[in-house]
Structure 1
Amino acid sequence: MPDPQPKPFSYVPVRVTTSDRVTIGHVRYRMVREYPGEIILETEGDDPRRETFTEQEFSRRHLLGEIIIDEGYHSLHKKIPEVIREIPWRNIKPHKRAKAQYFENLIRAYERYVADKGPLPRTVDELGPKMLNLSMEALEVTRKALAGETVHFKKLISVGHFNKIYANYQQSGRKTAALVSKDQGNKRVYYYDEASLKIWREEADLYAHSQRPKKKDKYEDLVARIRDENAARPDRNKLELCSYKVFRRLINELGAYYVVCKRYSKAVADRKFKFDRGGFGLFRPGERVDIDEKVVDLMLLLQYAHIWETLSDDEKEKARRVRVWVIVAMDIATRYIFGMRFCMSPNAQATIDVIQMMMQDKSETSAYVGALSPWFGRCRPETICTDNGSGLVNEEVADVLVECEIPHIRPNADHPEARGHIESSFRSHRRIVRHYQGRTFKDVLEKAGYDPVKTASLPLDLFEQEYTKAILDVYHNTPHEGLGGETPHNSLIRQTQTHKMRPHIGPDILRHIFGMDDTRTLDGEGLRFLGVPYSSPELRMWMAQDGQVEVPIRVNKRDMASISYLRDGKWYIADNQIGLAPDISVAEWLVVWRRIGGDFKKGSEVALDLMYAGLRDLRESGDAAAYRNPLGLRDLTAEKVREAERALIYRSGIKLIKATQHVASLDPPVVRPSAFIDDDAAGFNDPVAEISAYAEAQETARAQAFPKVGAKPTTTIGSPSPSSRRSQVGSASSLKF
């Protein structure tokens, strides 16, 4: 049995091959020899010279961005990445491809009719009578395109549906992929009371039992239990019985490996899922990282913590308002969590933030949340695997993954060994709550004297901190059955000493890819962002040629020393012109501007020394750690930063000048876990407004579902937001080929 005690972390070796180009400063090298603990590089050119580095020193400088590795630069067959903005056509189900082709041929049949016989308004009266003939013509063309395969439709398309697909087709640039059906079944939201839902989940969990019961038998057990429970309850407080379809869906959510392991044995599950001590057929850390999105229902967490019954009705109602999603990136070989972000609903930006977080140093974040175990894991994955969630599969995420040169796969349903690993880990995350015995999550609810919605930001900050702390201290250091009893923390340390990690992306390239987007006007001083001027020789030449122009820029929210600007489709670097020290975040900068901006007259020149003094005070107080490490619900947005810039900097008219003494760097912030981001922090979004909007949507949905007065209070299965519709129960009939 592996030792569960955490192993000390030293460093993670970086993989470099003879086909890679290594750049240190302005000198380019190529690796010629590699010995245990030692790397020998040789300069490129006619007069080569060699330099030797220890493996630890090489890895340290690479993480700092001093050593840049261009993978496969010297390869004779270097692969050029191809941008794929939609789901590859061959990955779409055959009947959906046929349906999309039919829609396209129907649109072309309509356009041919208009070209031959004149305008045909797309109305029920004008287009409706001709829809049958157009459909038959399109159907015949589709049959021929599919090499004579049998193609038929279940019902005639309506005029309204035709207008919808016609608009989508035109807006997408006439792409067939835009016509692929995204229908996932009935989108209605079903409501049930929490007591009934709890019993359903308990009975569904018993399906994973060594006696191997059938789903029908477990459903009959549920019926009997509900009947027995209702016999002792008053009429106005009866439990509800779900349909067999809903119960079967709850069983299917248990996770494939978990079910096989409980019903048969761990050995059988390992063979079925191609499991070994290194993971699901994966031996190298970073070889594959799974990203998934899950709703963190506070009510459900409280039930798992065994404190739901101890809460009052008012506290329970407060808990129902909070529906937070967590997006997790987990390494399959080690089960280590490389990145995690919270959000109010799944979206592309939250997924991009997780991808960026995987490749960043998170030691300051772990110290900020008060974790005893450092969050040292970081990697540039060789492959990322997701399901087809709307926040995971979209154009924005696809573009970022292509720029990072990370392949994106979505396994087919007939390969259970290639999916569902995070599903089981979320079950472990639920059990993490029990370690706190109700202390942490009860604090989220008990804010006496305050409106729970108006003061929601502080409880949510606390929730984020404690959940992240639990992942680092509990989950990472708990023996994992998928690792042969080894902990994810120790597994990552052990395997990285055997298998070297893929090289990281340099800090400038990371800013080009993940930086916060904005637009600035180029003038004689270059580009200004938050009062700091940025310039470069290329910018000065551009100004001399074209004068003042609008320039797209990207900013690293954690380091304002340099920015990226776009010209002719390429990103370039502009450095600050006042000697600003590195590692100063946008959030810290805005806080200091707010504190000192009103103390000077308009047009005053302020030396950078004063800003440094404010930054030092902020870091020594411990508040800077909160602003530098947002966990997702509170975060900087480009829109809010622009608003703060107009209010704090433009109106003040203050001009920054260089410091009287050069400052190479500032001391790192003092960590104070009790520090939180202020509710009115400049540049940050407002989760209180998001929670209020969500609560209003919930109330509206409840009113529609239960129009009668005195309807029983309920909770939901699934979120009513469009992004989570795929998890709701129900089915729908549609046109099939």
Structure 2
Amino acid sequence: MNAIVKTNAFTKLNPIKSGFRIEQTDRLTIQNKHFDWAGQSGDTIFLQPSNGQGMTEQFTMGMLSRLSAAGEIKHEVGFYLPDDLKPAPLAKGVSFQVSDLNVKQKTRFYGRYAQIMAIEDMVSEGLILPCKKDINASLKEIETRAVAYLKKEATERDLLDHALEHQQLPEAVAKSVRKKRGGGSKDGIALYSGDYLRKLYKNYQKYGLSAVADTLSKSGNRHSGIRPAEQSLLMKTIRTSYMTLERKTLKATVVDVQRAFRHENKRLVEEGELPLRVPGRGAVRGAIKKIEPLRIMIARHGREYAIKKLRPVGKGLEVSRPGERVEMDEWCIDLQSIIHSANLREFFGDELLDLIGLNGDTARWWLVLAIDCRTKVILGMKLTRNPCASAAQECLRMVVSDKGAWADASGALTPWSMAVKPELMVTDNGPAFKSGAFTHCCLDMRIPTLRTHAGVPGMRGIGERIFGTLSTDLMPRLVGRTFSNSIERGDYKSELRACLDAEDVAFILVRWVVDIYHNSPHSSLGGRTPLEQWDADMEDGNYPLSGLPDVATKRLAFGKRIECTVSQQGIVVMGVRYHSPELGMYFMGLGSKRVDVRWDPENLGAVSVYLEGAWQVVPSVHDRFVGMHFHDWMKVRRALRAKSASRKIWNQEIVFNAIDQIEDLVKDRSMAFGIIDTTISDEQFSKIQADLFSSFRMDDTPRLKADGNGLGRAITPRAPDPDIAPSGSKAPAKAGSVKPSPDVEKRAKATSPADTLHKRRAAAPKFGLPPKHED
């Protein structure tokens, strides 16, 4: 079977009129894969894998020439030939490389090689024969010629002397050349005997360069002179003295070893046995060097320290596009601040602030932050009182959302619109990132996660580095720092100096990230700023691999998971009614009317309901709730309850008017609203729904409706509304509170339907309706 290799880089280039010879006995290595010659048809070469596994591939000679010119082909000529048929340089030395020799071996190799080359030159010139007699007679000439091969560089004087010697210069030029000064050559060489050079030259002719190299480095006695009993006691003492967490010095270990040997020798002498030889400092040091460094470091410093210290350091992660790798981590900010804000209290109210922990105490904040490893852009951050799953969840929502509203609210001069769907989300093993809430979010959005080993922050180096930048660049500018420890803090009273509130901290973080950090040159970006790197990737078309999740996907991922009962009116969540044809058909069917619902507090315009094995989007009955935040809706409900605490049914127009007023008031809401984690728990959700919305219902009947007779509106008779009753009028008595008198009932019965209709028409206000004629 043939496989045709197609490469755009090859097809677009002009054909090459060059190549190289490939024989059946050759071997080619292309992209670390070995190939053997399989055949040729015209300009096409067929190559098969050397291991016999895989398909035969075909290459044009032009393609192979380009690969060879790019240095991507290793051509081993005559690889499969027997040694006696190979050329001399390849025989027995096809795998020999001078670079494999150590420094001393190279020195000896080049000394022999220079003398062999000198002999070969003289043989080719017909001056000598490669025999012992001629070589011994020409040792002086061999030394002179060999020195020339050992020179690292040829000087201009050497070139001119060579030209003069061979009469390659005109006579006038030759006279002007300055002759060499007297004195012997500074370069020397250790000449071998004639008999040894004869044998060496013969082996070189037969076996190639490998015959010139020696194996002196493998000679000598490599066995220790220490007896087994001495070796055993020495290593035992080193393990108990040197390889401990006390980390004794080499000097102290030598003392312990000698003390142990003296104690053992005293026992041996008493038993009539030969004493052991006491090792000196060199023997102890040599024994320690033979132990693997990793074992020594684990024993003296611990496993985590050893792994961190001895881990190979490369050039770092290879991230090619934005969103390919996003790291998220938590950090306890080195700052004491007041955990409340006047604007937050005005917006949320005391009750909700107490629920989410913003009660006004002086404490430290936790920051959950996500950073893109390609551009170093910060994609999301959330402030929270304590590390929790909801803060990590909301930080992930910021990663996949536009953050321009918070940048505008802080007055930032640069945008913060960067958002991606991560191809890989990297976190540590913290409880917030292992929780079901965060895990379900990533699974619902199909974001792969990688949780690194605990206690190894280097596996999340980019995320850890941004926290270091915050500590060194931002924290020193603020009042109320806690510093990293008590020694560094000294007499600095963090609690007494705390003057920043929650809104101040949120404002400072946003402005620092958007206007300072994103515009600061980064060393790993080649001097570019994170914002410049992001813009450059977008201009070059280096876009993220996937688009952002849609509204329905975000609702499934970040929405609160609740169960609701389906009724004829649909589903009611927090006083908002949701209905759809699919939900109506489900209600008409058989089976349980309890359904799973996903309710997103950031958009009350719709919910997702699991019906018949699939998620269905069920919109709100009123379009006015599209895009409305749950905290805004809670403020509307509190305002309505303050107006009438006992009222249960509210007309939709009154509710919508209240929504308009509240949205005008919170149009410039607090910066901390979006940065601080204000997620409510399941218990808080149930409590709010029971306290505020259990007795709340909207009357969907509009006051005015068309009668189908052209312009104008007709008022449908209904009970008077106490909130819109004219001033000075009394509210009607509640039904059933006063029993009508018998006279009233008698007059009502005596009145004819025609009289009643006539009176109603006469009393009805005129809205420009055309007059009606009675039959």
Same fold by TM-score, threshold 0.5 exceeded?
A: no
**TM-score, with structure 1 as normaliser:** 0.45
**TM-score, with structure 2 as normaliser:** 0.43
The higher radius of gyration belongs to: 2
